[in-house]
Structure 1
Amino acid sequence: MAITPVRTLVAQAKSEITTLPADAVAQAVAAGTALMVDIRDIRELERDGRVPGAFHAPRGMLEFWVDPESPYYKPALGEGRLLVLFCASAWRSALAAKTLQDMGVENVAEMEGGFKGWEAGGHPVER
């Protein structure tokens, strides 16, 4: 039995979610209407740096941290702001945004290009 390639899953997810360019994300964060959610592994943050002010929610805990019924719920993820997910290159964030949408989260998007796109666009990074 063949498995569905991850590229196919990512493409399907991207066809069903909102993807925002880094500049638009920066503007929404500055306006207080969005929260950047970094879903990368802690080792990636330590190695590559962080986006100042981004909320770190490891991919493996994201659904638990978003669900108000979960004992792991994080109130910062339920404040009503647009949750803009990002990973390194916008693959995991596409799948995660789709999963949150499937859970019923309406205010979710992913950032085009992920952390690499953010950094390449000249946006601030903490090392």
Structure 2
Amino acid sequence: MRLQTPVAEMVAAARARITEIETPDLIARLGDPDLIVVDIRDVRERQRSGYIPGSFHAPRGMVEFWVDPDSPYFKTIFGQQDKSFVFHCASGWRSALTVATLQDMGFDAAHLREGFSTWEKHGGPVEFPASRKVEPG
């Protein structure tokens, strides 16, 4: 089966029209009270790899519903118009598509270009959930 539009093309098109933040630049902004970092990875990814301290978890499948004030699932954190939102996933693909969709909805946001994949390499702090299960090994 040949797809009409492969996902790599969708991501490239999204990246061409959204704001991308480099990892060191986001690390430098941590602690900014006007910044909200939104982690759209699956809860299991967060448990396994950790997460950016202070980040808000919004599972990818719920983001549009949580952002829309007319949705019964709206989360008030997304109603803060004086804040800057930066979304991230593991490698930047899901967050690029997410931010492009949010932009289409009229919600202003950016995304972490390389995702969480280079966060620790650049010296970014990582936290783990208290209920993290340690793998034997």
Question: Does the alignment reach a TM-score above 0.5?
Answer: yes
Moved over 6 A (4+): none
Alignment of 1:43-122 (within 5 A): 43-80=44-81, 81-106=83-108, 108-122=109-123
CA distance in 2 between counterparts of 1:120 and 1:67 reads 35
- Give me the identity figure in percent: 49
CA distance in 1 between counterparts of 2:66 and 2:28 reads 25
CA distance in 1 between counterparts of 2:63 and 2:54 reads 17
Q: CA deviation at 1:27?
A: 3.4
Which ranges in structure 2 are unaligned for 5 or more consecutive residues?
A: 129-137
For 1:11, the equivalent position in structure 2 comes to: 12
TM-score where L is the length of structure 1:
0.93
Q: CA deviation at 1:24?
A: 2.1
Bigger Rg, structure 1 or 2: 2
More displaced, 96-105 or 1-10? 1-10
Provide the aligned C-alpha RMSD in A.
Answer: 1.3
What count of residue pairs does the alignment treat as equivalent?
Answer: 126
Which ranges in structure 1 are unaligned for 5 or more consecutive residues?
A: none
TM-score where L is the length of structure 2:
0.86
